[in-house]
Structure 1
Amino acid sequence: MLERVGPDGELLFGSQFHKFGGFGQRTKVALRAETLRERVEHFVNWASQLAHCLDRPHEVIPPDPHGALGTGRFRRTLAWHIARRPGALIALEVQYGHMRTAVSAGYASRSRDSIHDLLDIETARATADTLATLAADRAAGSGMSGPVARRAILAAGQAPAFEGVVFTARQARKLLTNPTLAVHDNPNAFLTCVYNPDKALCQLRGSQETPSLGRCVSTCANIARTDQHAAQLVLKADELDKQAAGGLVPGPLSERLRDHAVGLRDLADKHYRERIALSEAPA
């Protein structure tokens, strides 16, 4: 939408094409931070008023106890979604690695609170959360399967080191460049990626620092699954079977849904056959 507002080659938020009441400056200058902050607040008010008009009070945006949203908090929210929601609407299923480059390249490097740093920090936090979840699964007696199950278990053993850590950009980069801690949860694919770029089937480039979580391949050598992932596979298969039997989809599509459900159950069965009890694995 922003690309259609202004002509080709112009800034997405160029002041010349986003100035209310007429054109702004003739040179390539972006809207000022103060103007963008005002626009964000105007949007919040507009969205809440529209929710009231449509009799949808549950969609009203409540007053924020921390004050105005501002561009800084908006950028942190964007970084959170990119780092933690592979294949989500915010990324439109654009591959994870490309999204980091596409969003952050260019403008951010000039800012002290760069989007590069925000993405690194949020990705590090997501990695720490994944390690903590694996450690909790181990304490609960869960199991793990897959080519890199033991690597994931060893990485989970370092989870206590990150409890309560408020990451700085430098700490985040140190964690993300540690190959023994390159653990990325992908709930959309029902798996955990213990990333090794030399074996990654999601790779589109020769030197990709992070996995493309929107392009996970079930036969990849970087995959590990937990009992929770296996249970989610079965639930998804049940959902697909219900869609196929509901009489609302054409016959060929119904068959594809059933075939997909069978494939998901096969993955779950394989997990339970090959699982390693986390409590039995070396720390």
Structure 2
Amino acid sequence: MAIAPVVNAIRVLERMVPPGQLLFDHHAHDLRGTRTGTGSLTVHSLGVRVEDFITWANQEATAHGLEVIPPDPHGRIGTERFRRSLAWHIARRPGGLVALAIQYGHLRTSVAAGYAARSRDGIHDLLDVETARATIDTVADLNAALENGLGISGPAARRAIKAAATAPQYTGTVITARQARQILANPQLAVYENPHTLLMCVYKRAKALCCHRGPKDTPSLDQCVPGCANIARTDQHAVGLRHYATALDQQAGRVPGPLGERLHDNATRLRDLADAHDRTRTTLRDGIA
């Protein structure tokens, strides 16, 4: 599970090294060739490569008039900080926890837990911390928007508002692995933004319709079911629904009859959802606690 640039990079590496060798085999990548024996590039060498990449990226950005990567006040990035930066971005995408676990080498299971903690520098702690941070970011953004008059609707709207109200106690704090586990175990903070379906999942296991194979601790965001009791929508989602409906109508005009009709029907359905939100939306000023 990876985005296209990662897949392309792996394919390039596979062509750079002999069959059956490590992707970062030091014989293929160490241009000085001073090291004997087998193995991959060292952590130090990879850290140097990260710095070289930043230098190259800034040169390209300057040449094309784009924003450059600013100097880091904490010094060199290094492999560990680079790993955490990647984890931060992956964890904040839909399904990010699963993608993060797969890309970093382990699923969060009791079988892998002990091995991962020893050999992967506590990968499960990393997963927990980044997932907790993403959760706090979601409820903090929602809290700020609600304070500014954002409207919210749906069967889970009240639970979303209550979750958002807890955000200030976490905002700006350094989250440790222990605190992360406490946050993830708090059912009131189980709020997941799902931009692909233009909704927010305020997950409650007993009400979830996405769990076809029994209850789970997290939702399946790629299997959202209309009418689920965990759904909430905001004004921003309603705007997105209408934009998407317009795009579908435009696409419908360029395809054959039956397919075009189906696209028009989907566009109508999305506008109906947006209209339903407008009719039922509530705000903090309405006295909802």
Q: Does the TM-score normalized on the shorter chain lie above 0.5? A: yes
Structure 1: runs of 5+ lacking an equivalent: 87-94
Distance 2:200 2:262 in 1: 26
1:68 aligns with 76
2:98 aligns with 98
Which of 42, 49, 54 in structure 1 is aligned with 2:52? 42
2:175 aligns with 167
2:255 aligns with 250
Distance 1:127 1:135, change over 3 A: same
Contact conserved, 2:97 with 2:131, CA < 8 A, in 1?
Answer: no
CA shift at 1:7, angstroms?
7.5
Structure 2: runs of 5+ lacking an equivalent: 1-8, 107-114
Structure 1 range deviating more: 60-69 or 220-229: 60-69
Structure 1 range deviating more: 41-50 or 120-129: 41-50
Percent of residue pairs identical = 54
Distance 1:220 1:144 in 2: 16
1:264 aligns with 270
CA shift at 1:182, angstroms?
0.8
1:195 aligns with 203
Task: Give the TM-score, by structure 2 length.
Answer: 0.75
Distance 1:56 1:135 in 2: 38
RMSD: 3.4
Q: Which amino acid aligns with 1:193?
A: C
Asked whether 1:235 is paired with 2:243, we answer yes
Distance 1:256 1:110, change over 3 A: farther
Q: How many residues matched?
A: 269
Distance 1:101 1:22, change over 3 A: same
Greater fraction of residues in helix: 2
Q: Which amino acid aligns with 1:147?
A: P
CA shift at 1:191, angstroms?
1.4
The CA deviation string for residues 15-74 of structure 1, in whole angstroms up to 9 with x for no partner, is 4654446797665x443211111122222333344556xx51316545444433221222
The CA deviation string for residues 140-174 of structure 1, in whole angstroms up to 9 with x for no partner, is 34332222222212222222221322211111111
Distance 1:8 1:202 in 2: 42
Contact conserved, 1:17 with 1:24, CA < 8 A, in 2?
Answer: no
CA shift at 1:119, angstroms?
3.0
1:273 aligns with 279
SS of residue matched to 1:260: helix
